[in-house]
Amino acid sequence: MAAYTGTLIAVRDVDSLRRRVQAWRREGRSVALVPTMGALHDGHIANMKIALKMADRVIATIFVNPKQFGPSEDFVAYPRRESEDFELLSAAGVHLLFAPEVAAMYPPGFASTVRITGLTDILDGAHRAGHFDGVATVVAKLLLQAQPDIALFGDKDYQQLTVIRRLVADLNIPVDVIGVPTVREPDGLAMSSRNVYLTPAERVRAPVLYRAISACTSAISGGADIAAAVATARAEILKGGFREIDYVEARHAETLAPLTNRSEPGRVLAAAHLGLARLIDNLPIPHA
């Protein structure tokens, strides 16, 4: 892989992004894209580092996508820290930051929606109407704008990753989608930009979600009844101080259909509310 000594460049429009990518293409470089909504944490930076190992040039995107937030969700409150993010990306060795304004992504007259049916009606989709339409629309745009060889998305948003794989396959978008493992705090809490919503007392309780689904995956792979293991996890999460559970489910790892047979690849996925934060997490069910 070629050594790179440049500094991070930020662009806000698609033409500038494409000019950079085309110049790299002429030099024969491979290109990775890491889409984010900013407020970067160590999990994002771990994704950037994986991308830097896999491709010659890495583009990070920062765009708080209004189309994936419901009317009562946190679009306005969502943390925005662009100058700190720029420093972190620069220190990580990322080559290009694409940070478009809303008007550049959705100019007046914008009228298209990418909708993946089925996969988006369940789990998070059942609780966040329109969320995955917004995700699929913006991810399709980012992939077509940058035309990378690979694009990296965190396993933490496992349903999102599954939807994006479907989108790329269905629309024949020529990119390899890479799922990257969830990065966790030492106590197990999955890193998320939304963890800033937790009060110090809630932050102490938050790892209960991880511990409950972790115990659930072990119980299922150890032969426990799937429904009973899920019920135990739900009880642990509520006992641990979460105020409401959106779902705790054991699902097929590829189709996201309810898991009926533990010999199939499985995943336990959960979403629950702790104070003002809605936390999600998921883990694979190890093969017994």
- Write out the residues near ligand PAF by the rule CB under 6 A: 35-37, 65, 68, 135, 138-139, 153, 157, 160
Q: How far is the CB of 81 from ligand PAF (least distance, A)?
A: 14
Nearest one of 203, 276, 277, 268 to 240, comparing CA atoms? 203
Cα of first residue to Cα of last residue in the chain, in angstroms, is: 39
Q: What is the DSSP string of 150-199?
A: EEEEETTSHHHHHHHHHHHHHTT---EEEEEPPPB-TTSPBP-GGGGGS-
Q: How far is the CB of 240 from ligand PAF (least distance, A)?
A: 25
Q: How far is the CB of 269 from ligand PAF (least distance, A)?
A: 15
> Residue 144 or 228: which CB sits closer to ligand PAF?
144
CA 84 from centroid of its chain's CA atoms: 20
With contact defined as beta carbons under 8 Å apart, do 268 and 234 qualify? no
Secondary structure (3-state) at 212:
helix
Q: How far is the CB of 149 from ligand PAF (least distance, A)?
A: 18
> Residue 135 or 259: which CB sits closer to ligand PAF?
135
> Residue 68 or 145: which CB sits closer to ligand PAF?
68
- Residue 148 to residue 68: CA distance in whole angstroms: 22
Whether 44 sits among the annotated catalytic residues: the reply is yes
- Residue 53 to residue 49: CA distance in whole angstroms: 6
Q: How far is the CB of 67 from ligand PAF (least distance, A)?
A: 9
From the list 41, 44, 95, 127, the catalytic residue is: 44
With contact defined as beta carbons under 8 Å apart, do 221 and 288 qualify? yes
> Residue 27 or 121: which CB sits closer to ligand PAF?
121
- Residue 66 to residue 102: CA distance in whole angstroms: 8
> Residue 173 or 215: which CB sits closer to ligand PAF?
173
- Residue 270 to residue 249: CA distance in whole angstroms: 6
Q: Which residue is nearest to ligand PAF (CB)?
A: 35
- Residue 228 to residue 118: CA distance in whole angstroms: 26
Question: Which residues are known to be catalytic?
Answer: 44
